[in-house]
């Protein structure tokens, strides 16, 4: 009997434990299915500020900036939540502008002054001409009285050898330039004949447009250049021969190009086709420096440009006066034997159109 009571007790206890334990969830898989935390960005209430009250400018600006920062932060959070962080819109950019920055006014661009050449009726330019023989020609300076063979660094020594007069005249839209160089002193014994150059042509929107150029030394050496702009041909006559070249746009002769800078800024066009009545070449000029030259008329600010080639000893340097329409106030010509001719202005007379 006792045996049956014991078995019944054990059975009742087992049923009770089963019922109790059945209310407990031992599933570890359920813990892995917890949802991600979701946080909603709720905009903070904007604090209303009455700017009409008497407050300092600094306080007003500070309050406005704080307000804008809160609004921008709210917009940014909303974009992050929606996953649409694109490029800032125009409205977003304008909100970041400095509150003290006003609209930019129109920029006034001064009109370029009229070309100097349009105001000139006639010019008279007189230069003194100096000459240096160069290191390749023997002079007394190269003689060493003590018999030493040590070479000294060559220093140029210019001697005045002549004068140059150039006249420039304008009438009825046409120009005429005459060049007359003559030797003085001992040099006049060797170079007794004057060197004459002439250039004539028209004046248009591009400045000087040559039609005829003459280079003459005595009666034996006469070279001429004829510009045929319609057919774009340049005819050169020299020593009884006749040659024809293709006439490039903007071509000048070696006399007219010195006055072409009165119409065009020299730094705007640094490649100029030039003829000397022997051939037609493109001269490439380079900017060198801005310098102050001391003349009989006082200090003159000059733009220094030069035509040179590192593989060619020949060189032409021009010092152009901005005050006087970029007229050349100094010219230096270095020849292939390194001898140099320098022309420095001593007289400049101009008659302007009324």
User: ∠ at Cα 149 (146, 151), nearest 5°?
Assistant: 110
pLDDT at 305 over 90: yes
Neighbour tally for 121: CB within 10 Å: 13
Stretch 287-298: mean pLDDT: 87
- Model confidence at 237, pLDDT cuts 50, 70, 90, reads very high
The CA-atom distances, in angstroms, between 84 and each of 37, 38, 76, 77, 91 are: 21, 18, 10, 10, 16
Q: Give the model's pLDDT for residue 124.
A: 93
Give the Cα separation of 249 and 157 in Å (integer). Answer: 40
Number of domains in the chain: 1
Question: How many C-beta atoms lie closer than 10 Å to residue 107's C-beta?
Answer: 5
pLDDT above 80: residue 150:
no
**Assigned domain for 59 exists:** no
Whether the CB-CB separation of 175 and 168 falls below 8 Å is answered with yes
The burial class, CB within 10 Å (0-12 / 13-18 / 19+), for 259 is: buried
Residue 24 lies in a domain: no
Q: Residue 80 domain-assigned? A: no
Query: Which residues is 283 bridged to in the sheet?
Result: 272
> Which residue range is the domain that position 190 belongs to?
116-140+157-352
User: Residues of the chain with pLDDT > 90: what percent?
Assistant: 38
Question: What pLDDT band is residue 39 in, cutting at 50, 70 and 90?
Answer: very low
* CA triple 167-170-175, angle to 5 deg: 80
Please indicate, yes or no, if residue 31 is contained in any of the structural domains.
no
Is 4 domain-assigned? no
**Interval 241-271: pLDDT, tens:** 999 999 999 999 999 999 999 998 888 888 9
Evaluate whether residue 22 is within a structural domain: no
Which parts of the chain fold into alpha helices (H)?
2-21, 57-82, 90-95, 116-119, 187-190, 257-260
> What's the pLDDT band for 335 if we cut at 50, 70, 90?
confident
Whether 221 is in a domain gets the answer: yes
Choice between 26 and 50, residue whose per-residue pLDDT is larger:
50
Look at residue 88 and tell me whether its pLDDT is greater than 70: no
Interacting residues of 97 by C-beta distance below 8 A, sequence separation 6+:
none
- pLDDT at res. 317: 94
Q: Is residue 140's pLDDT more than 50? A: no
Domain-located, residue 242: yes
8 CB-near residues (< 8 Å, 6+ apart): none
Work out the average pLDDT over 139-168: 69
Spell out a b/e string for 267-278, using b for 16 or more CB atoms within 10 Å of the CB, else e. Answer: eeeeebbbbbbe
Residue 250 CB neighbour total at 10 angstroms: 17
pLDDT of residue 168: 97
Q: CA-to-CA distance for 238 and 221, rounded, in angstroms? A: 8
Query: CA 10, CA 65: separation in Å to the nearest integer?
Result: 79
Contact status, residue 331 vs residue 318, Cβ threshold 8 Å: yes
pLDDT at position 7 is 58
* CATH code (residue 218): 2.50.20
pTM score of the predicted model:
0.64
- Top pLDDT among 97 and 309 is at 309
d(CA 56, CA 199): 75
Q: Cα–Cα distance between 345 and 354 in angstroms, integer?
A: 26
Task: Assess contact for 236 and 224: CB atoms under 8 A.
Answer: yes
Tokens 């660094």 identify what position? Answer: 153
pLDDT at 146 over 90: no
Q: Average model confidence (pLDDT) for the chain?
A: 76
């Amino acid at each position: 009997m006792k045996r049956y009571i014991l078995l019944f007790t054990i059975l009742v206890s087992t049923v009770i434990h089963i019922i109790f334990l059945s209310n407990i969830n031992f599933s570890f898989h359920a813990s892995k299915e917890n949802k991600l935390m979701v946080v909603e960005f709720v905009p903070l209430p904007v604090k209303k500020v009455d700017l009409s009250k008497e407050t300092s400018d600094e306080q007003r600006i500070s309050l406005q900036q704080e307000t804008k920062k809160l609004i921008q932060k709210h917009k940014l959070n909303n974009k992050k939540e929606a996953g649409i962080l694109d490029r800032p819109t125009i409205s977003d950019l304008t909100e970041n502008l400095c509150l003290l920055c006003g609209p930019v006014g129109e920029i006034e661009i001064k009109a370029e002054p009229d070309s100097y050449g349009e105001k000139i009726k006639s010019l008279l330019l007189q230069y003194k001409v100096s000459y240096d023989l160069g290191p390749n020609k023997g002079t007394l300076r190269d003689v060493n009285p003590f018999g030493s063979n040590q070479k000294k660094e060559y220093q140029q020594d210019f001697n005045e050898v002549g004068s140059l007069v150039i006249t420039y005249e304008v009438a009825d839209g046409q120009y005429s330039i005459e060049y007359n160089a003559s030797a003085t002193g001992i040099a006049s014994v060797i170079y007794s004949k004057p060197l004459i150059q002439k250039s004539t042509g028209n004046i248009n929107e591009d400045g000087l447009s040559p039609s005829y150029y003459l280079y003459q030394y005595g009666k034996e050496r006469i070279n001429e250049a004829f510009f045929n702009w319609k057919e774009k041909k340049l005819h050169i006559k020299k020593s009884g021969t006749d040659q024809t070249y293709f006439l490039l746009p903007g071509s000048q002769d070696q006399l007219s190009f010195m006055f072409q800078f009165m119409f065009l800024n020299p730094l705007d066009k640094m490649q100029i086709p030039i003829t000397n009545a022997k051939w037609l070449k493109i001269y490439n000029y380079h900017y060198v420096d801005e310098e102050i030259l001391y003349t009989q008329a006082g200090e003159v600010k000059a733009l220094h440009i030069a035509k040179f080639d590192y593989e060619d000893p020949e060189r032409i340097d021009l010092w152009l006066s901005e005050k006087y329409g970029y007229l050349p106030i100094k010219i230096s010509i270095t020849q292939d034997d390194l001898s140099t001719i320098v022309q420095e202005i001593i007289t400049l007379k101009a008659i302007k159109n009324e």
